[in-house]
């Protein structure tokens, strides 16, 4: 391990410990193994979740600013920043803005871009998702719950649905839990296709609060219950994207690109 090289993996965070280790932890382990010459630092952006983890479990998790400060104190001058965020949305922008003053103090800075920044990125992930869910039959459906954002340069979720169609997977669709388009693409697709069964899965790094409550919860407005109300069987797949090696590999590729450039 080099004494002056650092790797900071920045996630939003989650208080769901099981999914944390299967997703964020799995991503981090891949990075530790791939970039074993770098000192590793875990950082979470959510102050609420960091506080909850400290009070509930006695676990101190660094903020991104604290992680950079510690890396600098420990003699690191070459730093690789790897966000686990999917989108170049508001949250990602806040991270970069907050860290910019500190990053100027390092000799070399490498920042990986989010997974879904270009149309080619969307096509790549769509291909991986259809391969992961390849056992879904033509008379069934897969509906993914994305987070959503009001500050994207690309119409990410619309492009996903167009891409699934173009790739011949018209029984796949994506909606959002926040902002547009909401659950509508899934409801419209169910009404149109009348599938025997719908598999619901989060298009989120972790299967946390949104997946367990907004998607699979018992409230009448959960995705599960709204789709069930249309007379279709629903099965919830409570696995975050971080559980899939195919998706984790996309993060590694982003990091390698950042180091090369």
pLDDT, averaged per 10 consecutive residues of the chain (261 residues), comes to: 89 93 97 97 96 96 96 96 88 83 94 93 97 97 94 88 96 95 96 97 96 97 98 97 97 96 80
Whole-angstrom Cα distance, residue 258 to residue 261? Answer: 5
Answer for the pair 83, 112: CB distance below 8 angstroms, yes or no.
Answer: yes
Alpha-helical regions (H) of the chain: 17-22, 24-34, 47-57, 64-73, 90-103, 119-132, 156-166, 184-193, 209, 223-228, 245-260
Say which of 85, 110, 147, 210 is annotated catalytic. Answer: 147
| Portions of the chain given CATH number 3.40.50.1400 | 5-115+243-260, 119-240
pLDDT on residue 2: 67
Answer for the pair 161, 198: CB distance below 8 angstroms, yes or no.
Answer: no
The CATH class of 5-115+243-260 is alpha beta
Whole-angstrom Cα distance, residue 137 to residue 195? Answer: 10
Neighbours of 87 (CB within 10 A): 20
Whole-angstrom Cα distance, residue 9 to residue 102? Answer: 16
| CA triple 180-182-184, angle to 5 deg | 115
| CATH-assigned architecture of domain 119-240 | 3-Layer(aba) Sandwich (3.40)
List, in order, residues 6 or more apart from 257 with CB less than 8 Å away.
Answer: 112, 113
Helix (H) and strand (E) counts for the chain?
Answer: 11, 8
pLDDT on residue 65: 95
Annotation marks residue 147 as catalytic: yes
């Amino acid at each position: 391990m080099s004494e002056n090289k650092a790797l900071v993996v920045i996630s939003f965070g989650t208080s769901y410990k099981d999914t944390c280790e299967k997703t964020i932890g799995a991503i981090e382990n891949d990075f530790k193994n791939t970039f074993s010459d770098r000192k590793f630092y875990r950082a979470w952006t959510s102050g609420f979740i960091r506080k909850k983890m400290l009070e509930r479990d006695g676990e101190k998790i660094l903020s991104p600013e604290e992680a950079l400060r510690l890396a600098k104190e420990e003699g690191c001058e070459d730093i690789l920043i790897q966000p686990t965020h999917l989108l170049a949305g508001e949250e990602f922008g806040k991270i970069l803005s907050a860290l910019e003053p500190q990053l100027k103090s390092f000799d070399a800075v490498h920042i990986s871009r989010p997974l879904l920044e270009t149309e080619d990125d969307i096509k790549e992930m769509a291909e991986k998702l259809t391969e992961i869910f390849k056992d879904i039959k033509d008379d069934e459906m897969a509906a993914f719950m994305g987070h959503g954002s009001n500050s994207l340069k690309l119409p990410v979720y619309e492009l996903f649905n167009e891409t699934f169609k173009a790739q011949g997977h018209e029984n796949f669709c994506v909606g959002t839990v926040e902002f547009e388009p909401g659950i509508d693409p899934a409801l419209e697709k169910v009404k149109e296709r009348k599938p025997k069964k719908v598999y619901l899965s989060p298009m989120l790094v972790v299967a946390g609060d949104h997946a367990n409550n907004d998607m699979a919860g018992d409230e009448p407005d959960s995705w599960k219950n709204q789709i069930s109300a249309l007379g279709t069987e629903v099965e919830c797949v409570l696995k975050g994207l971080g559980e899939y090696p195919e998706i984790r590999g996309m993060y590694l590729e982003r990091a390698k690109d950042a180091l090369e450039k």
